[in-house]
Amino acid sequence: MYAAAFPVFLKDEIRLYYGGSNGRHGGWRDGFLCLARLRPDGFAGYEQIAGGSNKTAMIATKPVVAVAGSLCISADVAPSGYVKVTALDKDNNELAEGELIAKTVTGVEVQWKEGFAFRSLKGKKIRLRFEVRDSKLYSFSFD
């Protein structure tokens, strides 16, 4: 395989063009132009790896400053899975709980329970706790 020097970044995907062949490098072989498509923010993720589909994993951030009025995530979610986001203060006290995210999403804003407005945390140090079941969490961002 021979990859192109630069990937092509589009709004909803990253394209990697490469050449592939059916033989060794030094001899005659058939060659092909190939294309790999990746989702944005999908190179590496966190997931639960032990215990089967009835188990969950928890991921917590170190304290970060909420720099915008909303929180977005990207995740792959199986039909039996979900991602739940909880905002915590620097002492791990719960500030707000997000609605369950039960489908695959890219850059989707977290909706908060009980009418909580995430913008009230802008400029404050918070922690985020992610609970994942049958899911892979790729990224979060302040939008």
Residues 63 and 99 in one domain: yes
Residues 128 and 74 in one domain: yes
Residues 49-101: pLDDT tens digits? Answer: 876 667 789 999 999 999 988 999 999 999 999 999 999 998 899 999 999 99
- The span from the CA of 140 to the CA of 109, in Å, is 9
Supply the range of the domain harboring residue 15. Answer: 2-38
Residues 10-59: pLDDT tens digits? Answer: 888 889 999 888 877 777 888 889 999 888 777 788 888 876 667 789 99
Strand partners, 33: 19
Q: Whole-prediction pTM value?
A: 0.76
Residues 78 and 134 in one domain: yes
Residues 61 and 118 in one domain: yes
Q: CB neighbours (10 Å) of residue 121? A: 21
Contact by Cβ (8 Å): 101, 140: no
Residues 30 and 83 in one domain: no
Which of 119, 48, 127 is closest to 81 using CA atoms?
Answer: 48
Q: What is the pLDDT of residue 51?
A: 66
Q: What is the pLDDT of residue 53?
A: 65
Contact by Cβ (8 Å): 73, 139: yes
